[in-house]
């Protein structure tokens, strides 16, 4: 009887050991603590001014500075001629060398709007913006403004959505549906595609064929610009920004269909830029970053992809783009995720969701 009991105990222990070994180590290693820092009204974009302060846009028109030590929030006055219209309003914001850059929905006349970019010298009381780019033509549509910003050297990259216009993204004589590249003062780089064989392209356009790109990031590892883009019903993707190329919207459907269920086009075909990773069904990709920091050292060089519909953070190891490794880091923890930032000193992650600013760090 004692032998039988010992045998059953040993059997249970061996089964437990087999289960323990079969569970990925990441299930135990990746434990996180989430903390809501402040409440906000539909925040959209964020940027670190320094190690202790972030500047944040609310889509409805407010710009706020948050102190991460004492959680004080101050509102910054501004002179932007913006319009909160459907998906539009104040969008991305970026601090760089004492300047603030912002993308926003500019009120051009009678609900005709554009994805515009302005900059101002940093002033924590009032920002006096001047436009450095306007997406033309202005369009009466509440959809698909984009828009994210990234700076490398003295070049500013921005994404401009196609405003629901579909094939306008194939027309390089119009800005909607393209990746923009300008100098940080708004002037035109002399090595843009317009001056290197694509004389019919507008001078600010760097790449065409995107739909609603709400993620744009500079990699500190290879100095390349990466992008995420909303498909229609399916067909979200993550890829590299490439000079003079074409991501194919609306010739390509990237694996998705129209919301009516009708087909759009193939996932990809030769002659168009191929994305690094696709999502079908849609996860509603939003902001992205290429991680570099100490808090999650094992993630260095990997892309972090946030999502709205899927309410998840995904990590892509894309060092070998023929074998991309994707991992869902978390899901349904903080709601719809609009933006992501890496703390410049400690590498902790900050997120904007639909109503606030959140901190994510490892559990010690």
pLDDT of residue 29: 42
pLDDT of residue 30: 61
What per-residue string of b and e applies to 41-66 under the rule 16 or more CB within 10 Å gives b? ebbbbbbbeeeebbbbbbbebbbbbb
**How many helices, marked H, and strands, marked E, lie in the chain?**
2, 25
Tens-digit pLDDT string for the chain (364 aa): 444 555 455 555 444 443 333 333 333 346 899 999 999 999 999 999 999 999 999 999 999 999 999 999 999 999 999 999 999 999 999 999 999 999 999 999 888 999 999 999 999 999 999 999 999 999 999 999 999 999 999 999 999 999 999 999 999 999 999 999 999 999 999 999 999 999 999 999 999 999 999 999 999 999 999 999 999 999 999 999 999 999 999 999 999 999 999 999 999 999 999 999 999 999 999 999 999 999 999 999 999 999 999 999 999 999 999 999 999 999 999 999 999 999 999 999 999 999 999 999 999 7
d(CA 115, CA 128): 18
Burial of 203 by CB count in 10 Å (0-12 exposed, 13-18 middle, 19+ buried)?
A: middle
From residue 296, how far is each of 31, 128, 265 by CA, in Å? Answer: 11, 38, 39
Rounded to two decimals, what is the model's pTM?
A: 0.91
Q: Are 317 and 296 within 8 A, CB to CB?
A: no
CATH class of the domain at 35-362: mainly beta
Q: What is the largest CA-CA distance in the chain?
A: 90
Instruction: Assign residue 11 a region (left: φ > 0; alpha: ψ between -120 and 50; beta: otherwise).
Output: alpha
pLDDT of residue 364: 78
The number of beta carbons lying within 10 Å of the beta carbon of residue 1 is 5
Q: How far is CA 246 from the centre of its chain?
A: 19
């Amino acid at each position: 009887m004692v032998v039988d009991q010992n045998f059953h105990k040993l059997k249970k222990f061996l089964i437990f050991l087999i289960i323990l070994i079969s569970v990925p180590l990441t299930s135990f290693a990746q434990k996180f603590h989430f903390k809501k820092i402040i409440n906000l009204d539909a925040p959209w974009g964020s940027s670190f001014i320094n190690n202790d302060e972030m500047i944040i846009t609310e889509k409805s028109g407010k710009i706020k500075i948050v102190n991460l030590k004492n959680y004080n929030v101050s509102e910054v006055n501004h002179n932007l001629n913006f319009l909160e219209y459907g998906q539009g309003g104040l969008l991305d914001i970026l601090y760089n060398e004492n300047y603030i850059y912002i993308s926003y929905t500019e009120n051009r006349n009678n609900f005709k709007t554009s994805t515009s970019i302005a900059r101002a010298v940093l002033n924590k009381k009032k920002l006096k913006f001047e436009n450095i780019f306007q997406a033309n033509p202005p369009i009466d549509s509440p959809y698909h403004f984009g828009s994210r910003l990234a700076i490398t050297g003295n070049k500013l990259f921005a994404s401009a959505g196609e405003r629901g216009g579909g094939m306008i993204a194939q027309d390089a004589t119009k800005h909607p549906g393209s990746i923009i590249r300008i100098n940080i003062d708004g002037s035109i780089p002399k090595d843009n595609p317009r001056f290197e064989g694509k004389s019919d392209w507008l001078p600010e356009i760097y790449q065409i064929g995107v739909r609603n790109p709400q993620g744009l990031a500079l990699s500190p590892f290879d100095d390349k610009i990466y992008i995420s883009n909303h498909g229609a019903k399916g067909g979200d993707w993550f890829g590299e920004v490439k000079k003079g190329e074409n991501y194919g919207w609306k010739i390509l459907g990237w694996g998705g269909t129209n919301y009516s269920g009708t087909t759009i086009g193939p996932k990809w075909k030769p002659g168009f830029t191929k994305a690094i990773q696709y999502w079908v069904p849609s996860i509603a990709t939003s902001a992205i970053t290429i991680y570099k920091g100490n808090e999650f050292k094992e993630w260095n060089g990997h892309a972090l992809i946030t999502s709205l519909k899927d309410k998840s953070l995904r990590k892509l190891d894309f060092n070998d783009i023929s074998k991309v490794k994707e991992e869902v880091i978390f899901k349904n923890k903080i709601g719809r995720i609009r933006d992501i930032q890496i703390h410049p000193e400690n590498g902790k992650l900050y997120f904007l969701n639909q109503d606030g600013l959140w901190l994510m760090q490892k559990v010690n």
